[in-house]
Amino acid sequence: MSSPTPAVHEARYTWGGDEFLFIEVSESMSLAANFKVMSIASTLSALALPGIVDVCPANASLLVRFDPDVLPPRNLEDTVRTIEGDLTHHQEQVLETRIIEVPVWYNDPFTADVAGRFREGFHQEPGGTDIDYAAKVNNLKDAAEFIQRHHEQPWLVSMVGFVAGLPFLFQLAEREKQLEVPKYLSPRTDTPKLTVGHGGCFGCIYSVRGAGGYQMFGVAAAPIFDPAQSLADFRDFMVFFRPGDIVKFKPVTEAEYNDIQAQISEGTFRYRQAPVTFELSKALSDPQGSNQELMEALNGI
């Protein structure tokens, strides 16, 4: 018998002007809080209420945009509160999602070049590398051990946003084993496209080139944002990741990275992915066992 999920506390509801309802599930990110956010968002979206313009889930909150001339604010709030109340009576919370293998070239020359240009005055340790610094603050032996810890456990896409297609990633591991790294002291004005970064307890993949302050560990080998929808994985939408997706990073060599670039140019690249059932209670009571089950779904692909 699996352990019960943690007690779910009542969310805080506030209004943003005439068109926005903000629901704060928790003041801090946790797996349980994010799971509740996704559950509320998916249930509300499935109702397809006339007047709802958009439902935007975040790490521990969600924002609902609506047309008050079509959907009265009180009706919307009552609906969301009912959804929230129903969730408190569910002993098992299950998410039908997918696990995706994301190839990463760690210690690549692209992020190394940018990191070299933004050290003095930007970084905590101007003389080192981002991975060396990350290993140090996590009390790990060296960069190799940090890279292993980074890719050996899966990550949950807790939200997508900030810039188009950028996933925020929360490591599925016991709190004391989660990697945490401070952001740069001052933001960079440049970050390579597809940089795999980390700030605080969150990982991310930069979908486009631009400013950024997360520590840089490598580059993902394949696009995650494709406005032209030229690859098969983007046939339905230009943004690849969705909240609730599970990511398993896979280290690749320079040669493997270049081979993937050739597949992308030919239009033949496909992400390795598999459908999985993610159970919150199992993830909280037995993180290692839950992660192993999730990752085994990729073995048959």
Show which of 35, 56, 91 is a domain's final residue: 91
9 — pLDDT class (breaks 50, 70, 90): confident
Residue 54 belongs to domain spanning: 12-91
Say whether both 121 and 207 belong to one domain.
yes
Q: Is residue 2 part of a domain?
A: no
* Residues 117/162, Cβ–Cβ less than 8 Å: no
Say whether both 265 and 145 belong to one domain.
yes
Give the pTM.
0.89
41 phi, psi to nearest 5 deg:
-65, -45
Q: Positive or negative CA dihedral for 247, 170, 129, 295?
A: negative
Say whether both 253 and 161 belong to one domain.
yes
Say whether both 141 and 54 belong to one domain.
no
112-148 as b/e: b if 16+ CB within 10 A: eebbeebbeebbbeeebbbbebbbbebebeebeebbe
Q: What is the overall mean pLDDT for the chain?
A: 93
Find the CATH number of the domain harbouring 108: 2.40.100.10
pLDDT for 2: 39
Show which of 76, 91, 106 is a domain's final residue: 91
The predicted-structure confidence for 176-232, as pLDDT tens digits, reads as follows 889 999 999 999 999 999 999 999 999 999 999 999 999 999 999 999 999 999 999
* Residues 232/279, Cβ–Cβ less than 8 Å: no
The residues, any chain, with a CB within 8 Å of residue 87's CB and separated by 6 or more, are 8, 36, 39, 40, 93
Q: What is the DSSP letter of 11?
A: P
Say whether both 148 and 261 belong to one domain.
yes
Show which of 73, 91, 109 is a domain's final residue: 91
Q: How many domains in the chain?
A: 2
Q: Strands across the sheet with 12-16, in order?
A: 12-16, 20-24, 61-66, 52-57
pLDDT for 90: 61
Mean pLDDT for the stretch of residues 18-44: 92
pLDDT for 4: 43
49 — pLDDT class (breaks 50, 70, 90): very high
* Residues 204/189, Cβ–Cβ less than 8 Å: no
- Exposure of 21 in the CB half-sphere (CA atoms within 13 A): 27
